[in-house]
């Protein structure tokens, strides 16, 4: 395995509606994806330390970049509350490796007088987020 630069990453999402085909999210510059498993505390009296069982896995993440006044980016999905098709490519030159599923994204816009208008979205899984490749 080789190390890769983030500059070839790409986020695809169904921007227009919950039935829309996933398309590249415009002007996003960073992303993160988190996989965590719920830990259920089953520690009993007399145990030498805390003891846990694995519960349900979870997936979530964030995107951020620059506001685009020509598209809705993740705004429509945030306000209609419907899940969106989602694909995350760490490197578009390796199209055989990506994560996919459906997500529920949020939408946030920030601006400063001395900077670009920025947009960000946190998201939570609406279905299994599976890794391909």
CATH number for the domain harbouring residue 35 = 2.30.110
Which runs of E-coded beta strand occur in the chain? Answer: 10-13, 23-24, 28-41, 52-66, 84-89, 98-105, 108-110, 118-125, 130-132
Average pLDDT over residues 59-69: 97
The CA-based angle 88-107-94, given to 5 degrees, is 10
pLDDT at 100: 98
Domain that holds residue 12: 6-132
pLDDT surpasses 70 at 48? yes
Considering the domain boundaries, does residue 49 fall inside one? yes
- Is 17 inside any structural domain? yes
Under a CB-based contact definition with an 8 Å cutoff, are residues 121 and 61 in contact? no
Confidence category of residue 34, pLDDT binned at 50, 70, 90: very high
Whether residue 70 has pLDDT greater than 90: yes
Residue 13 has pLDDT above 70, yes or no: yes
Residue 1 has pLDDT above 70, yes or no: no
Has residue 124 been placed in a domain? yes
pLDDT of residue 2: 85
What is d(CA 60, CA 33) in angstroms, rounded to the nearest whole number?
6
- Among the residues of 14-132, which ranges form H helices? 75-80
- Mean pLDDT, rounded, for 69-98: 95
- What confidence tens digit (pLDDT) does each residue in 95-117 have? 999 999 999 999 999 999 999 99
Instruction: Choose among 101, 113, 111, 107: nearest CA to 33.
Output: 101
pLDDT (average), residues 72-83: 95
Residue 10 covered by a domain: yes
- Does residue 32 lie in a domain region? yes
Please tell me the total count of domains within the chain. 1
In a domain, 1, yes or no: no
Q: How far apart are CA 50 and CA 94, in angstroms?
A: 42
When the pLDDT of each residue in the chain is averaged and rounded to a whole number, the result is: 96
């Amino acid at each position: 395995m080789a190390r890769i630069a983030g500059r070839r990453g790409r986020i695809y999402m169904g921007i227009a509606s919950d039935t829309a085909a996933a398309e590249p999210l415009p002007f996003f510059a960073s992303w993160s994806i988190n996989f965590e498993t719920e830990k259920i505390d089953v520690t009993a009296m007399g145990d030498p330390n805390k003891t846990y069982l694995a519960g349900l896995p979870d997936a979530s993440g964030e995107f951020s970049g620059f506001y685009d006044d020509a598209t809705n980016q993740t705004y429509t999905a945030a306000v209609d509350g419907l899940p969106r098709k989602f694909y995350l490519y760490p490197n578009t030159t390796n199209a055989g490796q990506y994560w996919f599923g459906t997500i529920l994204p949020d939408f946030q816009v920030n601006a400063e007088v001395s900077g670009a208008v920025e947009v960000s979205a946190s998201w939570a899984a609406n279905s299994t987020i599976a890794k391909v490749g």
